[in-house]
Chains A and B, each alone.
Chain A
Amino acid sequence: MQTLREFTRKTKRGNILKIVREHYLRDDIGCGSDLCQYCFQNEVYQLTSNHDVKSSLFKFPHYIVLDTNVVLDQIDVLEEDVLRNVIVLTTVLNEVKHKSSSIYKRFNEIIHDRKRNFYVFVNEHHKDTYADREPDESANDRNDRAIRLAAKWYDSHLQTSQDSKVFERSGRTVTRVVLLTDDAGNRAKAEAEGILVATAADYVKSLEDYPLLVDKLSQKTFENEKQALPQYPPHLSMKEILEGLRHKKLLQGSFQASRENYLEGNVNVEGYEKGILIQGRESLNRAVDGDIVAVELLPESEWSAPSEIVLEEKNVYADDVPSEEREEEEMEMLQQLQAAPVEERTPTGRIVGIVRRKWRQYCGILQPSLIEDTTRHIFVPADRKIPRIRIETRQATKLQNQRIVVTIDSWPRNSRYPHGHFVRSLGPLGNMATENEVILLEHDVPHCKFSEEVLSFLPKMPWTITEEDYAKRVDLRDLYICSVDPPGCTDIDDALHCRELPNGNLEVGVHIADVSHFIRPGNALDKEAAARGTTVYLVGKRIDMVPELLSSNLCSLVGGEERFAFSVVWEVDHQANILAKRFHKSVIKSKRAMTYEEAQAIIDDEAQTGEIAKSLRHLNRLAKILKKRRMDNGALVLASPEIRFQVDSETHEPLEVEAKQMRDTNSMVEEFMLLANISVAQHIAAEFTECAVLRRHPKPPNTNFDPLIKAARYQGFEVVTDTGLELAHSLDKCVKADNPYFNTMIRILATRCMMQAVYFISGSLQKEEFFHYGLAAEIYTHFTSPIRRYSDIMVHRLLAASIGADSTYAQLLDRKSNEEICNNLNYRHKMAQYAGRASVALNTHLFFRGKEEDEEGYVLFVRKNALQVLIPKYGLEGTLYLKSDKDGKDGLERTKSEVIFTFNEEDHTQRCGNVIFHSFDPVTVRLSLDSTNVQHEKLVFKLVIPYIKGFSVETTTELVTPANAQPPAKKSKKDKKKK
Chain B
Amino acid sequence: MAYVALSEAEKTFILHGVEEDFRCDGRSRRDYRPMELETGLVSNASGSARLRLANTDILVGVKTEIDVPNPLTPEFGKLEFFVDCSANATPEFEGRGGSDLAQELILSLQNAYESPYAFDYRTLCLIPGQQCWKLYIDILILECGGNLHDAVSLAAKAALYNTKLPRVTATLLDAGVTDLIISDNPYDCTRIGIDAVPLLVTVCKIGDYCLVDPTAEEEVCSTVSMVVSVSMRNNEAYLSGTHMTGGGSMHRDTMLNSIQLGLSMGEQLNNLLVTMLKLEEERVGPKRPNTVGFLK
Binding site for B on A (CB under 8 A): 2-4, 6-10, 14-16, 18, 20, 132-139, 246-247
Contact = CB atoms under 8 A, between A and B. Distances in A.
B187 A14 contact: no
Interface in B170-193: 173-174, 180, 182-187
A10 B187 contact: no
Contact of B44 (A2, A18, A134, A246): A18
A246 B288 CA distance: 39
B192 to A, nearest CB: 15
Contacts of A133: 185-187
Contact of B187 (A3, A4, A9, A136): A136
Contacts of B43: 4, 6, 20
Nearest to A142: B185
Contacts of B173: 246
A838 B131 CA distance: 58
Contact of A135 (B44, B131, B187, B291): B187
Given A14-B180, A133-B186, 9 more contacts: A3-B291, A4-B43, A7-B184, A16-B168, A18-B46, A20-B44, A136-B185, A138-B184, A139-B184
B77 to A, nearest CB: 13
Given A134-B287, A246-B173, A18 B182 contact: no
Given A138-B185, A247-B174, A15 B65 contact: yes
A14 B288 contact: no
Interface centre among B166, B186, B288, B291 (most CB of A within 10 A): B186
A16 B187 contact: no
B174 A16 contact: no
Contacts of A139: 184-185
Contacts of B168: 16
29 contacts: A2-B291, A4-B43, A4-B288, A6-B43, A7-B184, A7-B186, A8-B166, A8-B183, A9-B182, A10-B180, A10-B182, A14-B131, A14-B180, A15-B65, A16-B64, A16-B66, A16-B180, A18-B64, A18-B166, A20-B44, A133-B185, A134-B187, A134-B287, A136-B185, A138-B184, A138-B185, A139-B185, A246-B174, A247-B174
Contacts of B44: 18, 20
A136 B64 CA distance: 23
Nearest to B171: A243
Nearest to A13: B66
B286 interface: yes
Contacts of A18: 44-46, 64, 166
Closest 10 CB pairs of A and B: A135-B187, A8-B166, A135-B286, A20-B44, A20-B43, A6-B186, A15-B66, A4-B43, A8-B182, A16-B66
Contacts of A20: 43-44
SS class, residues of chain B in contact with chain A? loop
Interface in B1-54: 43-46
Contacts, number: 56
B146 to A, nearest CB: 34
Contacts of B183: 8
A135 B287 contact: yes
Interface of B: 43-46, 64-66, 131, 166, 168, 173-174, 180, 182-187, 286-288, 291
Nearest to B296: A2
A4 B287 CA distance: 12
A422 B64 CA distance: 54
A134 B182 CA distance: 18
A782 to B, nearest CB: 44
Contacts of A246: 173-174
Contacts of A2: 291
Nearest to B286: A135
Nearest to A9: B182
A135 to B, nearest CB: 4
Nearest to A7: B186
Contacts of B187: 133-137
A346 B290 CA distance: 66
A10 B179 CA distance: 11
Contacts of B45: 18
Nearest to B287: A135
A503 B46 CA distance: 84
B286 A16 contact: no
A208 to B, nearest CB: 44
B287 A16 contact: no
Contacts of A138: 184-185
A251 to B, nearest CB: 15
A6 B185 CA distance: 10
B217 to A, nearest CB: 41
A64 to B, nearest CB: 30
Contacts of A14: 66, 131, 180
A127 to B, nearest CB: 14
Given A20-B43, A135-B187, A136-B187, A6 B174 contact: no
Query: Among the interface residues A6, A10, A16, A247, which one has the most CB atoms of the partner chain B within 10 A?
Result: A16
A138 B185 CA distance: 7
Given A4-B43, A135-B286, A247-B174, A16 B166 contact: yes
Contacts of A135: 187, 286-287
Contacts of B286: 135
Nearest to A6: B186
A6 B184 CA distance: 11
B133 to A, nearest CB: 9
A134 B43 CA distance: 17
B184 to A, nearest CB: 6
Nearest to B126: A16
Nearest to B44: A20
A135 B284 CA distance: 13
A561 to B, nearest CB: 65
Nearest to A4: B43
B78 to A, nearest CB: 14
In this complex, the member of B166, B168, B174, B183 whose beta carbon has the largest number of chain A beta carbons within 10 angstroms is B166
A912 B44 CA distance: 84
A137 B188 CA distance: 10
Contacts of A4: 43, 288, 291
A99 to B, nearest CB: 15
A16 B131 CA distance: 12
A18 B61 CA distance: 13
Contacts of A3: 291
Contacts of A137: 185, 187
B287 to A, nearest CB: 7
A483 B228 CA distance: 99
A107 B173 CA distance: 39
A14 B65 CA distance: 9
A20 B185 CA distance: 14
B49 to A, nearest CB: 16
A804 to B, nearest CB: 53
A676 to B, nearest CB: 53
A832 B64 CA distance: 55
Contacts of B46: 18
Contacts of B66: 14-16
B156 to A, nearest CB: 19
A137 B186 CA distance: 10
Contacts of B288: 4, 6
Contact of B182 (A6, A16, A132): A16
A241 to B, nearest CB: 14
A20 B166 CA distance: 14
A309 B180 CA distance: 50
Nearest to B186: A6
Nearest to A19: B44
Contacts of A247: 174
B43 to A, nearest CB: 5
Contacts of B174: 246-247
A7 B173 CA distance: 25
Nearest to A135: B187
B290 to A, nearest CB: 9
A2 B166 CA distance: 24
Nearest to A242: B171
B175 to A, nearest CB: 11
A266 B92 CA distance: 77
